[in-house]
């Protein structure tokens, strides 16, 4: 996954078949226990999948573009050990603007990691996703302006702090 | 153009290999939405701000769905008298922590990275939620 251009290709295999089988069994058991709630669950499943598919397409295109245009050397410059403040700004901004559930981004992020992006920046990216620019007005409506501003600033600081801690832990291993 | 197609094919293959994992996670999200009601979530909070902050964090870890839903549920919890500390932890943990996606996260990134990420996110969530709610209540 996400290996750089010219790297050895791994054989194709589905990941998570056992987990999927387990979830299918769960649905079977749930259906026997409460049919109407299970049907509601299936409707929820279809709805979530419908909203997820466009995001997965965007992530796939982004992954292809990264594989095509970003070589490990230039990626290391922007997101590697020597990326400095620029690396933090890229990681935090990317986290804030990224949409959809976290797991939709796993393949792309692992691709970046395999190309040399350091773990601290990836952890900062994941935590910065808690800031949702499009939803800020809604957050203000529910919790007030003060809470929204304080939470947003502290979340970004915490994302950066986690990244720093992770980098130190990685360096000490 | 040809090289983009090759890169796209490779990226699509990678995404397809994850399809069972993604379907399983979405399936669990569906089950959560079908079986866990708002009343069930609200009943978890007992009124002690410290304990409720921890409960909010764990409830946010277990809960799944769009961030928007966590705001709506958080607003309802506040109306029902749950503390801002607990609601802040719940809203933050909803987006940053997730039990449901853990198997996929471990499969993709490996156990060590996932352990560190989740531990750091868990501690940060409690600290950020406590500080944000504390400052807000202090300024109010």
Q: Tokens 């109407």 sit at which residue?
A: A36
Q: Does residue B71 lie in a domain region? A: yes
Looking at the predicted structure, is the pLDDT value of residue B48 above 50? yes
Mean pLDDT of chain A: 86
Chain B interface, best mutation among A158, A170, A172, by max B CB count within 10 A: A158
Output the CA torsion B102→B107→B113→B117 (10° steps).
-20
Complex ipTM, two decimals?
A: 0.84
Q: Do B11 and A67 touch (CB under 8 A)?
A: yes
Q: Do A13 and B105 touch (CB under 8 A)?
A: no
Nearest chain A residue to B1, by CA: A68
CB B68 within 8 A of CB B95: no
Give residue A15's pLDDT: 82
Q: Does residue B5 lie in a domain region? A: no
Q: Does residue B20 lie in a domain region? A: no
Q: Does residue B91 lie in a domain region? A: yes
What are the C-alpha distances in Å from A7 to residues A72, B6, B10, B124? 11, 13, 12, 37
Give residue A159's pLDDT: 97
Question: pLDDT by residue (tens digit) across A63-111?
Answer: 888 778 777 667 667 787 777 888 999 999 988 888 778 888 888 888 8
Helices and strands: H and E segment counts in chain A:
8, 0
Determine the Cα–Cα distance for residues A1 and A62; give it in Å rounded to an integer: 13
Q: Does residue B79 lie in a domain region? A: yes
| B139 has a chain A CB within 8 A of its CB | yes
| B119 has a chain A CB within 8 A of its CB | no
| A99 has a chain B CB within 8 A of its CB | no
* Sign of CA pseudo-dihedral A117, A118, A121, A124: positive
Looking at the predicted structure, is the pLDDT value of residue B96 above 80? yes
Binned at pLDDT 50, 70 and 90, residue A9 comes out as low
What average pLDDT does the segment B118-140 reach?
94
Name chain A contacts of B131, Cβ cutoff 8 Å: 150, 154
Closest CA to B19 of A103, A36, A27: A103
| B51 has a chain A CB within 8 A of its CB | no
Binned at pLDDT 50, 70 and 90, residue A165 comes out as very high
Q: Do B104 and A61 touch (CB under 8 A)?
A: no
Question: pLDDT by residue (tens digit) across A27-70?
Answer: 999 999 999 999 999 999 999 899 888 888 988 888 888 778 77
Q: What percent of chain A has pLDDT over 70?
A: 91
Looking at the predicted structure, is the pLDDT value of residue A10 above 70? no
Question: pLDDT by residue (tens digit) across B21-36?
Answer: 889 988 988 998 899 8
Q: Provide the domain limits for residue B86.
A: 37-139
Closest CA of chain B from A128, distance in Å: 8
For chain B, the domain total comes to 1
CB A76 within 8 A of CB A116: yes
Q: Tokens 């800031």 sit at which residue?
A: A131
> B43 or B126, which is more confident?
B126
Name chain A contacts of B136, Cβ cutoff 8 Å: 143-144, 146-147, 150
* Sign of CA pseudo-dihedral B42, B47, B53, B54: negative
């Amino acid at each position: 996954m996400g290996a750089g251009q010219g790297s050895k290709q791994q054989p194709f295999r589905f990941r998570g078949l056992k987990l999927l089988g387990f979830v299918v069994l769960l649905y079977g058991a749930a259906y026997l226990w409460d049919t109407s709630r299970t049907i509601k669950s299936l409707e929820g499943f279809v709805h979530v999948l419908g909203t997820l598919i466009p995001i997965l397409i965007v992530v796939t295109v982004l992954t292809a573009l990264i594989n095509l245009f970003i070589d490990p050397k230039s990626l290391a410059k922007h997101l590697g050990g020597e990326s400095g403040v620029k690396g933090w700004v890229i990681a935090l901004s990317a986290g804030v603007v990224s949409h959809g559930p976290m797991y939709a981004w796993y393949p792309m992020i692992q691709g970046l990691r395999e190309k040399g992006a350091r773990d601290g920046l990836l952890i900062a990216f994941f935590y910065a996703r808690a800031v949702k620019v499009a939803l800020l007005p809604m957050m203000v409506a529910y919790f007030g302006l003060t809470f929204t501003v304080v939470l947003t600033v502290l979340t970004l600081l915490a994302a950066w702090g986690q990244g720093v801690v992770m980098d130190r832990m990685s360096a000490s291993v | 153009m040809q090289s983009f197609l090759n890169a796209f094919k490779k990226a699509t293959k990678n995404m397809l290999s994850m399809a069972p994992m993604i379907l399983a996670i979405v399936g669990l999200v569906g089950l959560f939405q079908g079986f866990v009601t708002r009343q069930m979530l609200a009943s978890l909070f007992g009124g002690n701000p410290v304990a409720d902050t921890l409960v909010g964090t764990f409830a946010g870890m277990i809960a799944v769905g769009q961030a928007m839903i966590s705001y709506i549920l958080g607003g309802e919890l506040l109306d029902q008298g749950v503390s801002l500390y607990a609601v802040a932890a719940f809203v933050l943990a909803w987006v940053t922590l997730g039990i449901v996606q853990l198997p996929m996260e471990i499969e993709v990134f490996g156990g060590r990275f996932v352990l560190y990420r989740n531990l750091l996110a868990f501690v940060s969530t409690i600290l950020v939620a406590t500080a944000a709610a504390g400052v807000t209540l202090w300024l109010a």
